Structure 1
Amino acid sequence: MSTTTLRLPPELRDRVSRLAQQSGTTAHSFMLDAIAERVAHEELRHAFLEEGNARFARMLETGEGLDWNDVRTHLREQAAGEASPAPQVKRWRE
């Protein structure tokens, strides 16, 4: 494992120390967990954006997609616990 130095403002260092102690862990472990959580979050966000961009490109290429009104109705029905068929792909441009 490599070593990296973090220069923390005193207020942040004190907050980390206090929370680590309350969590029953070391400040080092607390910071590692925080960094790992942020990295995972950013990786997931980037994957989400990449997938969205790929789907949008595919929509532009094929001229097919989901109608927002159909999607919204489906989501509302699902949220209400109702059985709702998935929206169907439609041509939206020729």
Structure 2
Amino acid sequence: MMMITLHLPEGMSSRIARAAAETGSLPHDFIVQAITEKTERAEAKSGLHALAQQRYEGFLESGESIAWADIRTYLQLRLNGQEAAQPSARKWRR
């Protein structure tokens, strides 16, 4: 376990204490949970960016993609409980 000292802005300590009390936790636990949630969001965002970059590079390499109109039609049919063939990728012209 690592120990970190935080210098909080004026009034933040009392705000944390109130919020922790309202959630039935201790200020320490409240802070740890807040840091955990923020870290998990940052990691998830980073993962999404990496996936988007990977897919974009795949598109640049293959030149193939599925048109948004085809995807939208497919999704609308599926949401309405209808059968729909999955749209296929096609080569894009510049």
Counterpart residue number, 2:22: 22
Structure 1 CA distance for aligned equivalents of residues 58 and 80 of structure 2? 31
TM norm structure 2: 0.84
Count how many residue pairs are aligned between Structure 1 and Structure 2. Answer: 93
Structure 1 CA distance for aligned equivalents of residues 49 and 85 of structure 2? 26
Computed over aligned residues only, the root mean square deviation of the Cα atoms, in angstroms, reads 1.8
Counterpart of 1:7, as a letter, is H
Counterpart of 2:87, as a letter, is P
TM norm structure 1: 0.84
Instruction: Output one character per residue of 1:33-87: Cα deviation in whole Å (capped at 9) or x when no partner.
Output: 1111111111111110111111011101001111111122233344x44334433
Structure 2 CA distance for aligned equivalents of residues 85 and 13 of structure 1? 57
Structure 2 CA distance for aligned equivalents of residues 89 and 31 of structure 1? 47
Unmatched 5+ residue regions in structure 2?
none
